[in-house]
């Protein structure tokens, strides 16, 4: 099993606060993807990171890939209610993506 651990499992914050969620593995990733899933919908890709130490920004979201390519973080600045959802990380297998169990984020207005 390609185990991916995400933390925290649940996070509830006030609008305007900053937050960071994490994705960790004991194995090295060739690449890692972050998805966001809203209730009643399928996950939607946010970003793919490939290079150790890579940082990518998507508006208020900052994604970092660890130097050793075993972990990743997602930082959200000034969270908004529209950021509410389930954040999933995934890593590539031979013909598959393996997913973590996700961080469920609630941003309270």
Partner 1 sequence: DAGITQSPRHKVTETGTPVTLRCHQTENHRYMYWYRQDPGHGLRLIHYSYGVKDTDKGEVSDGYSVSRSKTEDFLLTLESATSSQTSVYFCAISDGAGTNSPLHFGNGTRLTVT
Question: Where along the sequence are the contacts to partner 1 (CB under 8 A)?
Answer: 1, 30-31, 33, 40-45, 48, 50, 88, 90, 92-102
In the numeric block, which tokens belong to residue 53? 């130490």
70 torsion bin: left (phi>0), alpha (psi -120 to 50), beta (else):
alpha
Quote the least distance from Cβ 43 to partner 1, whole Å: 5
Sign of CA dihedral 36, 80, 21, 72: positive
Q: Closest distance between partner 1 and the C-beta of residue 54, in Å?
A: 13
Please say which residue, 3 or 78, places its beta carbon nearer to partner 1: 3
Closer by beta carbon to partner 1, 5 or else 75: 5
């Amino acid at each position: 099993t390609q185990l991916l651990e995400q933390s925290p499992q649940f996070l509830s914050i006030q609008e305007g606060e900053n937050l960071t969620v994490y994705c960790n593995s004991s194995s090295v990733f060739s690449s890692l993807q972050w998805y966001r899933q809203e209730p009643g919908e399928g996950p939607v890709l946010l970003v793919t990171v490939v290079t150790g130490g890579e940082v990518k920004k998507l508006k208020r979201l900052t994604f970092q890939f660890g130097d050793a390519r075993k972990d990743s973080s997602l930082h959200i600045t000034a969270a908004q209610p529209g950021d509410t959802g389930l954040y999933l990380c995934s890593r590539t297998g031979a013909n598959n993506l393996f997913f973590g169990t996700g961080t469920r984020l609630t941003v309270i207005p």
